[in-house]
């Protein structure tokens, strides 16, 4: 196998951010190499979010990666809030400009992008851990990695870190060159996959004194469900019957409603945290997706923010290699951070409105109730929730091959 030793862009990490960026670059004729430390099977089975904003779907369409999504994805026009024994629907199209979201698991997005990349895209290497990145503040970068038991190097113009919070690329940025803002929440989610058809047509977000619960789905025959649990909870402490019983208690707005039960095929505890690194660039190193920011999953923003990041990046590289202009690349961090902080704020507000903090005072509980009541009774509050949930506009890419002007990227 002839491995490239030089590329314009090195993408580290074959999650949705890295794979979508590589696909967009390939379609613009920009050569890149994707390096992933894990094997293909592991990457394709990582369970993450399953809600796609319309802008993310549009980006996948432009990338030629939406064929199966169009066949199997499930468009949703709203969500349901449950609290105090009341069910209240948030209708997205009527409260926005007709926006909606799609249910299509991140595992399936990744499988689609991997298949395209291996068929006709840039080189993609699994089991290829990166050990070091050098030259961020010089004329080019050198990526040191291992593949098939052999140490290798890749020289490139830019390195894009799509390898997550603890990734090697962000670790290559000198201390003090970026600032990290963080918040840790005093609870986690116990998430399960179940071979059971959803007993609901749209996602249900439930608040109760027992804690938060979310009923989501992966397909018409697979349910994805979550329970608020204490930090550090052992998922093995929760039997299947205990999980189903607790979900029914928290999600049941009245005693007549119950979930469809079935075998649990996956179970894990997800910590809740927010984190933003700024700026998202140091010299020739740029960060995207979870390497630059994380949000609590309540607002379903993680994958969608990653898609926004790489949409801007792909346009910036197209502009650079077409015209030599660095204007858009230099603005990358500022453009993305405006949308990221809006999503962080929305996710924080939705999370704190729906979860029951372990040390919650009676005053905080009444404020929380007032906020939920406002969502249920105020068209303005409901419209704001709908607009944030369905997503602020993704950058618009010019139809001219691979180009984008800064004015096309207004958020």
Q: Which residues are designated catalytic?
A: 76, 205, 297, 301, 389
Do the beta carbons of residue 286 and residue 317 sit within 8 Å? no
The CA dihedral of 370, 375, 381, 382, to the nearest 10 degrees, is: 180
Neighbours of 153 (CB within 10 A): 12
Compute the distance between CA of residue 16 and CA of residue 289 in angstroms, rounded to an integer: 8
Do the beta carbons of residue 34 and residue 125 sit within 8 Å? yes
First to last CA, the chain: 43
The CA dihedral of 110, 140, 173, 36, to the nearest 10 degrees, is: 20
Q: What is the three-class DSSP state of 376?
A: helix
**Residues constituting the chain:** 411
The DSSP code sequence of 271-309 is: EEEEEEEESSEETTEEE-GGGTEE--GGG--HHHHHHHH
CA 291 → CA 162, 165, 203, 238, 288, distances in Å? Answer: 6, 5, 28, 31, 6
């Amino acid at each position: 196998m002839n491995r490239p030793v030089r590329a314009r862009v090195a993408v580290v990490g074959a999650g949705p951010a890295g794979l979508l960026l590589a696909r967009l670059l390939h379609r613009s004729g920009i050569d890149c190499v994707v390096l992933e430390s894990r094997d293909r099977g592991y990457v394709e089975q990582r369970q993450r979010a399953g809600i796609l904003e319309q802008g993310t779907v549009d980006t996948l369409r432009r990338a030629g990666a939406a064929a199966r999504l169009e066949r199997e994805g499930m468009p949703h026009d709203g969500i349901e809030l449950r609290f105090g024994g009341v069910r209240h629907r948030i209708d997205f199209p009527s409260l926005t400009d007709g926006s909606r979201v799609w249910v299509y698991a991140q595992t399936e997005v990744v499988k689609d992008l991997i298949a395209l990349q291996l068929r006709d895209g840039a080189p993609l290497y699994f089991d290829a851990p990166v050990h070091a990145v050098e030259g961020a503040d010089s004329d080019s970068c050198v990526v040191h990695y291992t593949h098939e038991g052999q140490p290798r190097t890749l020289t490139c113009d830019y390195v894009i870190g799509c390898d997550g919070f603890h990734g090697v690329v962000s670790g290559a940025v000198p201390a003090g060159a970026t600032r990290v803002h963080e918040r840790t929440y005093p609870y986690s989610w116990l998430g399960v996959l179940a071979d059971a058809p959803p007993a609901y047509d749209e996602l249900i977000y439930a608040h109760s004194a027992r804690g938060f619960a979310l009923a989501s789905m992966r397909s018409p025959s697979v349910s994805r469900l979550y329970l608020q649990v204490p930090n550090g909870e052992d998922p093995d402490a929760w039997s299947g019957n205990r999980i189903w019983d607790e979900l029914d208690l928290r999600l049941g707005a009245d005693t007549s409603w119950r979930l469809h039960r079935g075998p649990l095929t996956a179970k894990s505890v997800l910590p809740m945290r927010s984190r933003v690194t700024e700026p998202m660039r140091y010299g020739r190193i740029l960060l995207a997706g979870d390497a630059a920011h994380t949000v609590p999953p309540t607002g379903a923003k993680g994958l969608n923010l990653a898609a926004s990041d790489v949409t801007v990046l792909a346009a910036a590289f197209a502009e650079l290699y077409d015209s030599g202009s660095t204007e858009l690349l230099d603005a990358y961090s500022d453009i993305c951070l405006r949308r990221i902080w809006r999503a962080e704020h929305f996710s924080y507000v939705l999370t704190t409105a729906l979860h029951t903090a372990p040390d919650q005072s009676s005053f905080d509980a009444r404020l929380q109730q007032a906020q939920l009541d406002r969502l249920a009774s105020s068209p303005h509050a409901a419209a704001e929730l709908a607009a944030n949930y369905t997503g602020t506009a993704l950058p618009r890419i010019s139809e001219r091959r691979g180009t984008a002007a800064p004015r096309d990227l207004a958020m």
